[in-house]
Amino acid sequence: MTPSSLEDRLASELAELETAGLTRRRRVLESACGRLATVDGKNVLNFAANDYLGLAGNTEIARALADGALQWGAGSGASHLVSGHLAPHEALEKEIAAFTGFPRALTFSTGYLANLAVTPTLAGRGDAVFADKLNHASLIDAMQQAKANGAEVQRYAHNDVAALEKLLAASSAATKVIVTDAVFSMDGDLAPLPLIFALAERYDAWLVIDDAHGFGVLGREGRGSLAHFNLPASPRILLMGTLGKAAGVGGAFVAGSATAIEYLLQKGRSYIFTTAQPPAIACALTKSLQLIKNGDALRANLMARIGQLRDGLAGLPLKLLPSLTAIQPLIVGENDAAVALSKALWARGLWVPAIRPPTVPKGTARLRISVSAAHTEADIAQLIAALKELA
């Protein structure tokens, strides 16, 4: 096969994506992430970012990053287990463990790598994984890797605790692993964690929780979804949280018992074989954790803006999913219609991305409105007015 014929196959698939209205396109930000953004030369209100507390452009965090780079250099030089685990990494892991209530934590460069480290490490031949059907792509890929390792994988209907219990009761697996998002990234709803935790206890299963969209936002002092539900830092729980959303920087962590974390450190391939993040990132995140802990005013404004948006869009012909989190999905239906509505908002200076399959099920293309503590009452009012006009 010639290079041109190889490329022809790719070009054909790209053309199919274009025809189906599924082509993804990047926009170039020409300003720091914030409520106001300059994107592709246009000034817009930003409802696209996961910067839930408005910390991505925080000057205190930026100063901690700069100071950390001056003290510790630009890079870590190696993986954590070779020579890349510097003092700022160690300090950050201890801070995260204390903040989440677990004995120990590991940090990762991305949430994707963190999720890839957990499920395939816990579950192999003779084991079973039980996963919510709307889990994030990184959890799905981790589940598939566990399946490649010989584990049985079963997916239960979204948040269907009764279906999950039937699967657990019927399983004779040596090790059972339940995997769920805490806040689902495209629907904005919460998993019924108390009920799922009770099943994990009853059937002696691990419970892997992805709290990417709850950490920093939910619970006392922003400690996350476990704190929101008053659940304990149980030895059977492994909690993943990302640090590039509410925390405003980048990276991720997995928190758990000392034994479970040591096991991941020794066996988790995406931890062992990845260069550690620059130590300055850890310095920035240590400052971010302080701001999250003291960020009750930010969280209060975030919840007020969410309430304002939901009240303002009541009665809209389009369906606003029942989410009380910063993720507010407005279902449009067809791909082209969602893209058209997003473009119309863009023309009015409002950046609200259209989300299409395969990220969401076919026929449920939507606008994913991300609300931030940085948004003002006037910002939300402007978005409401535009949506009422266009919908």
Give CA torsion, residues 66, 373, 343, 190, to 10 deg: 110
Catalytic option among 80, 136, 176, 213: 213
Rounded to whole angstroms, the Cα distance separating 185 from 332 reads 17
Question: One of 109, 185, 323, 342 is an active-site residue; which one?
Answer: 185
Q: How many CB atoms lie within 10 A of CB 333?
A: 13
C-alpha closest to that of 328 among 219, 136, 181, 185: 185
**85: annotated active-site residue:** no
* d(C-alpha 5, C-alpha 24), whole Å: 24
Q: Are strands 237-242 and 205-210 parallel, antiparallel or unpaired?
A: parallel
Catalytic residue list contains 213:
yes
Q: Which conformational region is residue 381 in: left (phi greater than 0), alpha (psi within -120 to 50 degrees), or beta? A: alpha
Catalytic residue among 80, 136, 176, 245: 245
User: How do 128-132 and 152-156 pair as beta strands?
Assistant: parallel
Of 315, 138, 344, the C-alpha closest to 354 is: 344
Indicate if 76 belongs to the active site: no
Amino acid at 214: G
Q: Give the C-alpha distances (Å, rounded to integers) separating 270 from 110, 113, 267.
A: 10, 6, 9
Q: How far is CA 67 from the centre of its chain?
A: 28
Beta bridge partners of 372: none
End-to-end CA separation in angstroms for the chain: 50
For residue 106, give the nearest of 232, 240, 235 by alpha carbon. 240
Residue written as tokens 């399983």?
Answer: 171
Catalytic residues: 185, 213, 245
